[in-house]
Amino acid sequence: MTEKQPFFIKEIREQPKILANTLSQYLGPNRHLKMARPPLDDQTLRKIQRVYITACGTSYHAGMTARYIIEELSQLPTVVEPASEAGCHQLLVDQGTLAVAISQSGRSPETLAALNLAKARGAATLAIANEVASPLTEAAEGSLMTLAGQVFTLSSTKAFTCQTLILYLLAIRLAQSRGLMRDEWLRELENLGRIPEMARHVLAMEDKVVLLAKKLASYDHVFILARGALLPMAYEGALKLKEVAHFHAEGYSMGEFGHGPLALARANTPIILIAFSDEIDSTTLALARAFKARGAPLFLITEDGLKKDQALTSMAEGFFPLPAAHPRLRPMVAILPLQLLAYHLGRLKSLDVDNPGGLLSSLDYLKTDFAI
- CATH code of the domain containing 123: 3.40.50.10490
pLDDT at res. 359? 61
With 0-12 / 13-18 / 19 or more C-beta atoms within 10 angstroms meaning exposed / middle / buried, residue 294 is middle
> Per the domain annotation, does 361 fall within a domain?
no
Residues 51 and 110 grouped into a single domain: yes
Q: What is the pLDDT of residue 306?
A: 45
Of 337, 332, 252, 372, which Cα lies nearest the Cα of 66?
Answer: 332
By residue range, what is the domain housing residue 92? Answer: 7-199
Residues 209 and 79 in one domain: no
The answer to whether residue 366 sits within a structural domain is: no
Residue 87 DSSP symbol: G
Short-list 204, 221, 239, CA closest to 337: 204
**Statement to judge: residues 161 and 310 lie in one domain:** no
Asked whether residue 34 falls in the same domain as residue 173, the answer is yes
Question: Are the beta carbons of 50 and 96 closer than 8 angstroms?
Answer: yes
Helix H, strand E, coil C: the string for 207-231 is: HHHHHHHHHHCCCCEEEEEECHHHH
| Residues 55 and 178 placed together within one structural domain of the fold | yes
212 and 195 share a domain? no
Judgement on whether residues 185 and 221 belong to the same structural domain of the protein: no
150 and 258 share a domain? no
In a domain, 124, yes or no: yes
Is residue 270 a part of any domain in this protein? yes
Given 141, 175, 199, which residue is the final one in a domain? Answer: 199
Residues 242 and 265 placed together within one structural domain of the fold = yes
Residue 273 lies in a domain: yes
Q: Is residue 368 part of a domain?
A: no
**Same domain (yes/no): 131, 218:** no
pTM: 0.93
Mean pLDDT split into 10-residue runs, the chain, 372 residues: 81 96 88 90 96 97 97 96 90 96 95 97 97 94 93 91 96 92 76 94 97 95 96 98 96 94 94 91 90 95 71 87 92 97 96 79 40 49
What is the rounded CA–CA span in Å between residue 371 and residue 353? 17
Give the pLDDT confidence score for residue 282 in this predicted structure. Answer: 87
Tell me, yes or no, whether 363 lies in a domain.
Answer: no
Q: Which positions ≥6 away from 150 have C-beta within 8 Å?
A: none
Answer yes or no: is 50 within a domain.
Answer: yes
Query: Are 276 and 325 part of one and the same domain?
Result: yes
Helix, strand, coil shares, percent, the chain, to 5:
50, 15, 35
Last residue of a domain, one of 161, 178, 199: 199
pLDDT recorded at residue 364: 43
| Cβ(101)–Cβ(140) below 8 Å | yes
Number of domains in the chain: 2
Asked if residue 232 and residue 172 are part of one domain, the reply reads no
d(CA 182, CA 180): 7
Task: Tell me phi and psi for residue 51, to 5 degrees.
Answer: -125, 135
Q: Which residue, of 168, 199, 230, is where some domain finishes?
A: 199
